Amino acid sequence: DIHMTQSPSSLSASVGDRVTITCRASQGIDNYLTWFQQKPGKAPKSLIYSASSLQSGVPSKFSGSGSGTDFTLTISSLQPEDFATYYCQQYHSYPFTFGQGTKLEIK
Amino acid sequence: QVQLQESGPGLVKPSETLSLTCTVSGGFINTYYWSWIRQPPGKGLEWIGTIYYNDYNPSLSGSTNYNPSLKSRVTISVDTSKNQFSLKLTSVSVADTALYYCARDSSMQHWGQGTLVTVSS
């Protein structure tokens, strides 16, 4: 199985900050990676697919990069609605696996 | 815009079978990959399994892949006449208590709102 490790597990930031979340795969997954945002009581929402493609309707302040084993999600100019938990997921090979999540909290 | 909606019992007794259905609207189910994912309360996401359905590729249509940790208990199937796909999980225990989501595509770009299933006697 491909293990996905996110860092940090939690992050405190202020409105207006720029933050970066990292996801590392235990083996190469090309660009078969999705980033999700999940708010309490809601289903995960796709932000980025194919590592760097912005999902339709998602603001351009979200961006993704990386290929192979190392990936990043960057959120520029944090707004109150961006404080949530973020997950990465690989779909390069079965079983599909998720990172453990990064909780982004207001400082 | 495709929409997915999970449905099924919210309470299942230990050792019984959990059965859920995902109804797809705004698109046809006879193409794409369709997945089930679950999330125990307060925990992370776990992929359960995926079915591939494609009327134009009969040799691969209906092929399934399951999480090895659940494989012996899981079945995912498609009902094209109802534009639905289903999850069956047998011999459930309290550890199977979770929010269950259905999603479309391997990259899971579209999700249902989720349904909470509690396993309790």
DSSP-assigned letter for residue B60:
T
Residue-level pLDDT at B71: 93
Is the model's pLDDT at B60 over the cut of 80? no
Stretch 60-79 of chain A: residues touching chain B, C-beta under 8 Å? none
Interval B49-66 mean pLDDT: 85
Q: Does A87 touch chain B (CB under 8 A)?
A: yes
Q: Give B23-46 pLDDT, tens digit per residue.
A: 999 988 888 899 999 999 999 999
The number of CA neighbours under 13 Å toward the Cβ of B81 is 0
Q: Which of B67, B101, B109 sits opposite A55 (nearest CB)?
A: B109
Is the model's pLDDT at B58 over the cut of 80? no
Choose, out of B109, B113, B115, the residue to mutate when testing the contact with A (most A CBs < 10 Å).
B109
Q: Does A92 touch chain B (CB under 8 A)?
A: no
All residues at 6 or more sequence positions from A101 whose CB lies less than 8 Å from its CB, including other chains: A6, A9, A38, A85, A86, A87, B44, B45
For residue A1, give how far its alpha carbon lies from the nearest alpha carbon of chain B (Å). Answer: 9
For residue A15, give how far its alpha carbon lies from the nearest alpha carbon of chain B (Å). Answer: 25
Distance CA A33, CA A12 (A): 24
Q: Give B82-104 pLDDT, tens digit per residue.
A: 999 999 999 999 999 999 999 99
Q: Give A12-70 pLDDT, tens digit per residue.
A: 999 999 999 999 999 999 999 999 999 999 999 999 999 999 999 999 999 999 999 99
Residue corresponding to tokens 């999940």: A38
Q: Does A100 touch chain B (CB under 8 A)?
A: yes
Alpha-carbon separation of residue B21 from B44, B82, B84 (angstroms): 22, 11, 7
Residue-level pLDDT at A28: 98
Is the model's pLDDT at A84 over the cut of 90? yes
Q: Which of B65, B108, B110 sits opposite A94 (nearest CB)?
A: B65
| Interface contact A43-B112, CB threshold 8 A | yes
Mean pLDDT of chain A: 97
Residue-level pLDDT at B28: 86
Residue-level pLDDT at B59: 76
Chain A residues with CB-CB distance to B111 below 8 A: 43-46
- Work out the pLDDT band at B119, boundaries 50, 70, 90: very high
Q: Give B4-14 pLDDT, tens digit per residue.
A: 999 999 999 99
Residue-level pLDDT at B57: 76
Q: Which of A43, A55, A100 sits opposite B114 (nearest CB)?
A: A43
Distance CA A49, CA A88 (A): 10
Is the model's pLDDT at B55 over the cut of 90? no
